[in-house]
């Protein structure tokens, strides 16, 4: 995945409400509802207290990243705060302040995990599944094939999710080895050996990290594209014609919360705490 930069996240807190209204017009649901569906949540869960812990490892802090994650969680009326300290000291602060769940990201991995019971949600998988559910909700005809571009963890999670919902998938990656090893044994996933003609598909899932390669020639007013990748693969002009579901952080973070919360809740019930 492409590393986010300050400008990708800097206005998220200010635009969240309007963006969620726009998202609902596109998909019929708010992000929180899509994330709950993606996590398979069917009942009301307890609200967990969340700490976002900045991580200085590798390339270091992305200015506004932790604050945006926190704002996204608060937008879903969740109880979230950013720790004043970073790394292990930040985890210590989070637990001392009573956090049930911690969000933290280094350059390779972005996770949410439980502090009292074992539970973990990973951003690539949750983003893949959250956007797959958003696409599903926007599809008028779920018997039509979805084209998935990119067999990274996001693309693979999306393909597995859609196949589980009985939606047929064509999958393509410019790297034949990556494609070959993805989603082995899935009957509903067909791997394409050559670059697909985009115009043939009404439903596309762009899990690549290439910018502006889907143009107005590739889409129609019926086309729906789920596009979690950064930079966005769809040109401005194509976005004016097709429905393009794209956000850099929001839906992935919300899905992480619900995936982790569900595991926590089920474990707590098992242990007789709930």
Q: Rule CB under 6 A: is residue 249 a binding residue for ligand 2YG?
A: yes
In eight-state DSSP terms, residue 272 is T
Q: By the 8 A CB rule, do 241 and 219 touch? A: yes
Q: Of 91, 92, 119, 89, nearest to 104 (Cα)?
A: 91
Which span (94-102, 145-153, 191-199, 247-255) binds ligand 2YG, by CB under 6 A? 247-255
CB of 65 to ligand 2YG, least distance (A): 4
Please, what is the minimum distance in Å from the beta carbon of residue 158 to ligand 2YG? 12
Residues 72-101 that bind ligand 2YG (CB under 6 A): none
Site for ligand 2YG in 120-149 (CB under 6 A): 123, 127
Spell out the alpha helix ranges (H) of the chain. Answer: 6-9, 12-27, 31-39, 65-75, 87-96, 123-138, 153-164, 176-181, 236-241, 250-270
Q: How far apart are the first and last CA of the chain?
A: 37
- DSSP assigned state of 204: E
The residue from 13, 79, 87, 106 that contacts ligand 2YG (CB under 6 A) is 106
Q: What's the alpha-carbon Rg for the chain, to the nearest Å?
A: 19
Q: At its nearest, how many Å lie between ligand 2YG and the CB of residue 108?
A: 8
Strand partners, 170: 147, 190
Nearest 5°: CA angle at 234, between 228 and 238?
Answer: 135
C-beta of 2 vs 96, nearer to ligand 2YG: 2
Rounded to a whole number of angstroms, the minimum distance from the CB of residue 202 to ligand 2YG is: 25
| Segment lying near ligand 2YG (by CB under 6 A), choices 59-67, 90-98, 135-143, 235-243 | 59-67
Q: Which is nearer to ligand 2YG, 107 or 164 (CB)?
A: 107
Residue ranges binding ligand 2YG (CB under 6 A): 1, 3-4, 54-55, 61-62, 65-66, 105-107, 110, 123, 127, 248-249, 252
């Amino acid at each position: 995945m492409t590393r986010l930069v300050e400008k990708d996240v800097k206005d998220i807190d200010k635009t969240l409400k309007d963006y969620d209204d726009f998202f609902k017009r596109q998909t019929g649901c708010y992000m929180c509802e899509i994330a709950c569906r993606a996590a398979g949540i069917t009942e009301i869960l307890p609200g967990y207290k969340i700490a976002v812990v900045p991580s200085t490892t590798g390339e270091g802090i992305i200015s506004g990243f932790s604050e945006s994650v926190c704002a996204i969680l608060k937008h879903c009326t969740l109880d979230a705060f950013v720790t004043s300290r970073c790394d292990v000291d930040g985890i210590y602060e989070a637990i001392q302040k009573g956090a049930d769940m911690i969000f933290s990201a280094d350059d390779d991995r972005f996770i949410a995990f439980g502090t009292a019971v074992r539970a973990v949600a990973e951003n690539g998988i949750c983003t893949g599944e959250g956007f797959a559910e958003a696409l599903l909700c926007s599809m008028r005809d779920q018997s039509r094939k979805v084209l998935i571009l990119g067999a990274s963890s996001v693309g693979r999670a999306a393909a597995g999710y859609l196949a589980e919902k009985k939606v047929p998938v064509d999958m393509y990656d410019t790297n034949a080895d990556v494609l070959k090893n993805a989603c082995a044994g899935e009957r509903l996933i067909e791997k394409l050996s050559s670059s697909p003609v985009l115009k043939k598909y009404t439903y596309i899932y762009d899990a690549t990290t290439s910018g502006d390669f889907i143009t107005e020639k590739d889409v129609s007013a019926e086309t729906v594209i789920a596009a979690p990748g950064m930079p966005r693969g769809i040109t401005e002009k194509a976005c004016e014609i097709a429905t393009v579901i794209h956000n850099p952080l929001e839906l992935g973070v919300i899905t992480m919360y619900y995936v982790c919360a569900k595991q926590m809740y089920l474990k707590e019930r098992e242990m007789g705490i709930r």
